[in-house]
Structure 1
Amino acid sequence: MPESSSAPSQLSGSNHEHTSPPPCTLLSVGQAFSGTQNFSILRKDEAWRVNVRIQGCDLNHGYLCGTMEALDVPMADSPVVTFWEGEIVDTKNHTFFTGKWEAKPEDDIRHWTKFPSFSPLLSKVEVDGGRYLDLSNYPCIFMRWKEQYFVNVGTDCGLTIAGFYYVCFSCSDGSINGFYYDPNSSPFQKLELKSTNEGRLGFIFSSL
């Protein structure tokens, strides 16, 4: 949602059995996260506060959704809330290659490699998007978040939702790091969120 502008565990490279990411109570319905998004890589002090809440999570189908609230937006009179839908990279429903939203494989690699926890996966992902990787015991869950619409404001609020976020979620502490991709916006805008633990621990759809 930028300003509108022009020690991983075992990996397998040949396992054809796809398994869902491990159930994680920090990635569940009702969980809330808070942090910032830097919208300029040149000026690190240019950031707004961001709150995220998960509204739905279905690990079997690699899907989740939620709301994102941006505060302190320069051109908006009130916080800007958007609804987003996410793809969980599980190599069954979604691979590391996006295949849409104007993102080419080289764009995917360029963004995923910004997450240190992705490094052990790089060689497999470069071949076919990591289609045969087993991520069931990986300590991080990789996702893409795509904002679908503005909830409480119009499209003239000064923000754009044309792009999407590459996201890395830590199963150990619930921290979230992301990078926004939109060819028409500043590159590598960083999203940093921490679990606030204020959301009620909702159920999740596990692989059971």
Structure 2
Amino acid sequence: MLVPLCELPVPLMMPTAMPGQALPPTCTFLNVGQAFAGTQNVSSSQKDEAWKVNVRLQGCDMQRGYLCGSMEALNVPSAETPVVTFWEGEIVDNKNYTFYTGKWEATKETDVKHWSKFSSFEELRDDVQKDGGKSFDLANYPYMFMRWKEKFFVNVGTDCGLTIAGFYYVCFSRSDGSVHGFYYDPNSSPYQKLELKATNEGRAGYSFATYQFQ
């Protein structure tokens, strides 16, 4: 449950670009409160399985290349209730973050393999392999590439049968708010696919200066 710590809502401040820096155009699908709904395919060689997933943005700072939110997984066989996690995201903008992860057990080869799962990455691949993609102007590219890392469980304990050791490679469409992602964790089934679509739920919500999960 999201609990605001202040009584009065404050407007979400739009970031301003530093001299010589270009920020990606404002996207209405990256506002605080925006909801997404879809599925995550967690099939393995033994069985086919997919979970219903709901995501809600709790913060977005384009200047820092940062966003965060909650993710709710439903119909998880090992859990009696929907499992909610809090995640933080990195926007690949070649200023704050590049296509190379550099942590979470992800090598450059791992990065290229996962980014290459997105057709929108194809025209960037040569540049990324050459110089990390730093020469490519991502500010006006129709897709945004991100990494989402779940930080902690909100409503269940670590004994719920799920792991949040890995992270998601994410491709976000600026035009329609659709999200495609692949989960990476060396100890989990490879290429678990996340597919989400933006919904109207929460579009008229408020943003708060601070909040905490309980």
Same fold (TM over 0.5): yes
Q: 1:35-67: CA deviations, max 9, x gaps?
A: 000012547841010000000000011000000
In the alignment, the residues of structure 1 paired with residue 38 and residue 46 of structure 2 have an alpha-carbon distance, to the nearest angstrom, of: 17
CA RMSD of aligned residues (A): 1.7
Select which of 135, 140, 153 maps to 2:156: 153
Q: What residue number does 2:194 align with?
A: 191
Q: What residue number does 1:19 align with?
A: 22
**Does the C-alpha gap of structure 1 residues 167 and 80 become closer, same or farther in structure 2, counting only changes over 3 Å?**
same
In the alignment, the residues of structure 2 paired with residue 162 and residue 37 of structure 1 have an alpha-carbon distance, to the nearest angstrom, of: 16
Q: What residue number does 2:167 align with?
A: 164
User: Which of 1 and 2 has greater Rg?
Assistant: 2
Indicate conservation of the 8 Å contact 1:179/1:188, yes or no: yes
In the alignment, the residues of structure 1 paired with residue 42 and residue 197 of structure 2 have an alpha-carbon distance, to the nearest angstrom, of: 18
| Between 186-195 and 125-134, the greater mean CA deviation after superposition | 125-134
TM-fit CA distance, 1:84 = 0.1
In the alignment, the residues of structure 2 paired with residue 141 and residue 64 of structure 1 have an alpha-carbon distance, to the nearest angstrom, of: 12
| Between 123-132 and 179-188, the greater mean CA deviation after superposition | 123-132
Structure 1 outlier segments of 4+, above 3 Å: 41-45, 201-204
TM-fit CA distance, 1:20 = 2.1
In the alignment, the residues of structure 2 paired with residue 110 and residue 100 of structure 1 have an alpha-carbon distance, to the nearest angstrom, of: 16
TM-score, structure 1 as length reference: 0.86
Q: What residue number does 1:140 align with?
A: 143
Q: 1:9-37: CA deviations, max 9, x gaps?
A: xxxxxxxx542222100111110000000
In the alignment, the residues of structure 2 paired with residue 62 and residue 125 of structure 1 have an alpha-carbon distance, to the nearest angstrom, of: 18
Q: 1:159-189: CA deviations, max 9, x gaps?
A: 1000000000001111000000000101000
Q: What residue number does 1:7 align with?
A: none
Report the secondary structure of 2:122's partner residue.
helix
| Between 37-46 and 140-149, the greater mean CA deviation after superposition | 37-46
| Between 69-78 and 191-200, the greater mean CA deviation after superposition | 191-200
Indicate conservation of the 8 Å contact 2:57/2:68, yes or no: yes
Residue 57 of structure 2 corresponds to residue 57 of structure 1: no
Residue 104 of structure 2 corresponds to residue 108 of structure 1: no
In the alignment, the residues of structure 1 paired with residue 116 and residue 65 of structure 2 have an alpha-carbon distance, to the nearest angstrom, of: 21
Report the secondary structure of 1:192's partner residue.
strand
Report the secondary structure of 2:68's partner residue.
strand
In the alignment, the residues of structure 2 paired with residue 201 and residue 102 of structure 1 have an alpha-carbon distance, to the nearest angstrom, of: 39
Indicate conservation of the 8 Å contact 2:168/2:184, yes or no: yes
Residue 92 of structure 2 corresponds to residue 89 of structure 1: yes
Q: What residue number does 2:41 align with?
A: 38
Report the secondary structure of 1:180's partner residue.
strand
Indicate conservation of the 8 Å contact 1:25/1:201, yes or no: no
Query: Percent identity over the alignment?
Result: 71
Indicate conservation of the 8 Å contact 1:142/1:169, yes or no: yes
List runs of 5+ in structure 1 lacking aligned partners.
Answer: 1-16
Report the secondary structure of 2:29's partner residue.
coil
Per chain length, whose mean CA-contact separation is higher, i.e. which structure has more relative contact order (CA < 8 Å, sep 6+)? 1
Indicate conservation of the 8 Å contact 2:91/2:145, yes or no: yes
Indicate conservation of the 8 Å contact 1:54/1:66, yes or no: yes
